[in-house]
Amino acid sequence: MQPNTIIHIINTPKANNYLYAASKAAIIQMTHHLTADLVKDNININAIAPGFFLNKLTKYIVNEQEAQFDKKMVPKERLGQTEDIADAAIYLSSQASSWMTGHTLVLDGGVIANSGYGEF
């Protein structure tokens, strides 16, 4: 039976923004604790942590066509698109992820994996 799904969206914090980072860590921890409580009710809880995405709120910061990407910063050499988050949410809502619960998918084009936290 397909589980019900809850998905938290958590932005990846920028370097040296300790209060913001702590609030995001709290949501990740809440995801873990809710999973422990709700898994018996057939509810999967996961989170999506996007890095820098081009959207209505970030459009004023950078125009994707003019953006210069440092390979050390964003290994995928592009900004995230709203479709990237939508695809992850579809996956987390589908039967394909029915065995996955209590996890956070980091969608940042490889920033954290490549250079550690706070390099952007």
Instruction: Domain ranges for the chain, please list them.
Output: 4-112
Residues 19-45 have pLDDT tens digits of 888 898 999 999 999 999 999 999 999
pTM of the model: 0.81
Q: Yes or no: say if 61 and 15 are a contact pair by the CB < 8 Å rule.
A: no
Across 100-119, average pLDDT: 79
Residue 119 has pLDDT above 50, yes or no: no
73: Cα separation from own chain's centroid: 17
Look up 60 and say whether it is catalytic: no
End-to-end CA distance of the chain: 41
- Which of the residues 18, 20, 60, 91 is marked catalytic? 20
Q: Yes or no: say if 46 and 72 are a contact pair by the CB < 8 Å rule.
A: no
Q: Yes or no: say if 112 and 72 are a contact pair by the CB < 8 Å rule.
A: no
Class level of CATH domain 4-112: alpha beta
